[in-house]
Amino acid sequence: MLGITDYLWRLLPGNPILLRVVAMASKRKRDWFVRMGYLALLIILVFFSLSSKESGLDALAKMSGQIFMNISYVQLALVALLSPIFTAGAITQEKDSQTYDILLATPLSNAQIVVGSLGSRLFLVLALLVSGIPIFSITQIFGGVAISSIVMSFLIAATTAIVTGSLAMAIATFKVGTRRTIFGFYVFVVIYLVGIYLLDRVPYFKIPGRNIIPGTESAISWFTGLHPFLALRVIFNDPSYTPPERLALPDHLRWGPLSWYFSSPATFFVSFMTFLSVVLVMPSILMLRFMAQSTSSVKAWLLKRILPAASDRRRKPRSVWNNPIAWREARTKASAARSTYIRWGFMIFGLAAAVGLLVMHSMEAKYSRYISPSSFSTDGGSITLFGGESPDTFLISPNTDVTLNSNRVDLNSLKGRFQVVGTPTTDVRNRRLLTSLALSEIPRRLSDVDVRRWLLGVVIVEFAVILLIVTNAAASTVTREKEDGTLDLLLTTPITSRYYIWGKLSGLVSFVLPLVAVPVASALLFVVYDTIRFAGGSDAAWIIFPEALLVMPATLVMVAAFAAITGMNLSLRCRTTVRAVMSSVGIVLALCGALGLCGFSILQGRTVSPMTLLFTSFSPFTVLTVLIDPYTAAGSIFLDGTADDISNARWVQFVFGLVSTGAYAAIVWTMYQAMVKNFDMTIRKQSR
């Protein structure tokens, strides 16, 4: 027993790697600022929640539950944001500082190195969770929140951080990639969180089973127990998201782990992610020194056996742009094998998703009886209803009450096919004479509401991936040249700092332009489709307003340029690529997330007017949401408002969308001028 205790002490609390990082974290001002910012955000959120004017014990208990839900979501979002930042360079940072070989030469075991590195990376994140306990305790003052719910909220956040760190450790140990793997790691985390959340909303994946609340169906899906935000939602006692009881599940879902997975998604998530963390860490412990001594990575070993050796190839000479630095940033990144696969895969996936949504929307759903232009006789005295076992012909008169979508219409004005709703009413004495006929638009396989939501989800994922790509590329522009020694050679040439920085910025923007074209092309498909529908006489609403084709590309390009100049600034100031990438991605995601949170908070206010869109236009994610799905994002205007309100809102969104683009352009230009001014001084300071 003493031997096991001593081993655990050396593995965790007494681990020199962990103790070194803990000691450094207690002295670094950056870590103190992160903690203070985290706590300040939670305190501000609680303060605004407590400013409600409602009184009474019931109101206070309800408000306490709302506070708990808000700060739980914010805490988990910050953990999901910070964990990849602090864990992505688990071992690669040791390699960059050339201390990895020294670490392997010490008497430390593989377990001590792996667990110590993992614990050191997760120390700050777990310390943030612990520091938030007093703020969560405020919810106990007014009641309404069970202690078990608070504990489960912390466990979900902690296991999310641990499994993220374990995955980063496995990637770094097996040398699937080095510093470039950080980008892929971020992309995987974003796609996983957003993709699983979108799939959870599809009715097809909802599990059958009666909810514990009589008369309601369970909204739990096959993905709830695998997503941290969905698992967190379960503990909030939301009637529409309460898991079914085990006995309410179908017989084929009551088997062992499946019944646990569906009836208690939160506890399953914590247990499964803990088990997955152990599974990810164990191979790293067993193979650490073996992989360190090998001369090739797992990827190279597989490619060597799968693909034959490539023969010598001659490459044609390529023409260089007027600015060779811009050409190098744009063309060399795009011509690399990995970048080529990513770019083409991104464009194929994005366009295929848009075409698939368009095809699903254009296809008609199943219907029984319908009318078409050939249903009317030449003299207008009869009409034929198709469908069913055989066509059925009825007489009509000027007094026949014909309605389309509950609105009275003239049969002669109808064009196209329409579904017959219910049973037509006939005259009692003349059974073949119609007295009323109810019609409706033939429903689509994918309705307008659903196609907007799915398209918005796809565009948001594409935009997030674009930001990650350009930020990752920009954060390594200068540090890469510092590390391989080519920056000193460039400084000896007649190239000026303005020429150098402008070439980097314009090259990065040119590199992501094909990616930016994907969401714009997706919107263009639906605008063209709507134009063709309207030319055919349809009076349906626009799926996407045409002005989105002008606002979207300008917004995407300028925000991408902002991410690029941010990454370049940190690449200039930081000495290592890992630190520059982590800091750049964290800043860009934090700013976009904060602006998005403010924008969506404004849209969810009680009084939303067309001028409200003036303030939301400066949040890129909010702009995309309003442009693609205005009926959901600003329903009080586009659904409940008058025609003048809708017209005014569209004009405000268009004008101030372009104004916000100009504001981002001004910020980019200011940061560019400051970077040019401080370039030489920063390089000289780092060369000391």
Pairwise pLDDT comparison (486 vs 71), residue with the higher score: 71
- What is the pLDDT, as a whole number, of residue 422? 74
pLDDT of 525 higher than 80: yes
Residue pair 508/329 in contact by the 8 Å Cβ criterion: yes
- What is the pLDDT, as a whole number, of residue 518? 92
pLDDT of 547 higher than 70: yes
- What is the pLDDT, as a whole number, of residue 310? 46
DSSP of 381-444: SEEEEEESSS-EEEE--TT-EEEETTEE--GGG--S-EEEPS--EE-SSSTTBEEEEEEEPPPB
- What is the pLDDT, as a whole number, of residue 35? 73
H or E stretch at 80: helix 57-87
State the residue for tokens 């920063």: 682
Percentage of residues in the chain having pLDDT higher than 70: 76
Instruction: Tell me, letter by letter, the H, E, C secondary structure of 197-254.
Output: HHHHCCHHHECCCECCCCCCECCCECCHHHCHHHHHHHCCCCHHHCCCCHHHCCHHHC
Number of Cβ within a 10 Å radius of residue 291: 18
pLDDT of 340 higher than 90: no
> pLDDT class for 666, splitting at 50, 70, 90?
very high
Determine the Cα–Cα distance for residues 63 and 52; give it in Å rounded to an integer: 8
- Reduced to 3 states, what is the DSSP secondary structure of residue 515? helix
- What is the pLDDT, as a whole number, of residue 19? 55
Residue pair 230/216 in contact by the 8 Å Cβ criterion: no
Contacts of 527 (CB under 8 A, 6+ apart): 542, 544, 546, 548, 549
Pairwise pLDDT comparison (558 vs 313), residue with the higher score: 558
Which tokens belong to 82? Answer: 């910070």
Determine the Cα–Cα distance for residues 547 and 650; give it in Å rounded to an integer: 8
Average pLDDT of the segment spanning 305-334: 62
Report pLDDT digits (tens) over 319-329.
777 777 777 77
Say how many Å lie between the first and final Cα of the chain, rounded. Answer: 53
> pLDDT class for 487, splitting at 50, 70, 90?
confident
- Enter the DSSP assignment of 641: S
Average pLDDT of the segment spanning 358-366: 80
pLDDT of 189 higher than 50: yes
Contacts of 666 (CB under 8 A, 6+ apart): none
Pairing of strands 392-395, 382-387: antiparallel
Determine the Cα–Cα distance for residues 189 and 468; give it in Å rounded to an integer: 11
pLDDT of 606 higher than 60: no
> pLDDT class for 429, splitting at 50, 70, 90?
low
Residue pair 564/330 in contact by the 8 Å Cβ criterion: no
Average pLDDT across the chain, whole number: 76
H or E stretch at 582: helix 577-603
- What is the pLDDT, as a whole number, of residue 95? 62
Look up the pTM and report it.
Answer: 0.69
Of 198-212, 251-265, 379-393, 673-687, which range is least confident?
198-212
Pairwise pLDDT comparison (52 vs 362), residue with the higher score: 362
- What is the pLDDT, as a whole number, of residue 182? 62
> pLDDT class for 4, splitting at 50, 70, 90?
very low
Pairing of strands 418-420, 392-395: unpaired
Distances (CA, A) of 209 to 9, 220, 239, 244: 47, 9, 14, 6
Report pLDDT digits (tens) over 625-648.
888 888 888 777 777 777 788 888
- What is the pLDDT, as a whole number, of residue 519? 92
Q: Residue 544 — φ and ψ, nearest 5°?
A: -130, 130
Determine the Cα–Cα distance for residues 533 and 602; give it in Å rounded to an integer: 34
Average pLDDT of the segment spanning 565-577: 83
Determine the Cα–Cα distance for residues 253 and 222; give it in Å rounded to an integer: 11
- What is the pLDDT, as a whole number, of residue 521? 92
pLDDT of 123 higher than 70: yes
pLDDT of 501 higher than 80: yes
- Domain ranges within the chain, ordered by starting residue: 30-292, 326-363+447-686, 369-440
> pLDDT class for 668, splitting at 50, 70, 90?
very high
> pLDDT class for 94, splitting at 50, 70, 90?
low
Quick one: fold of 369-440? OB fold (Dihydrolipoamide Acetyltransferase, E2P) (2.40.50)
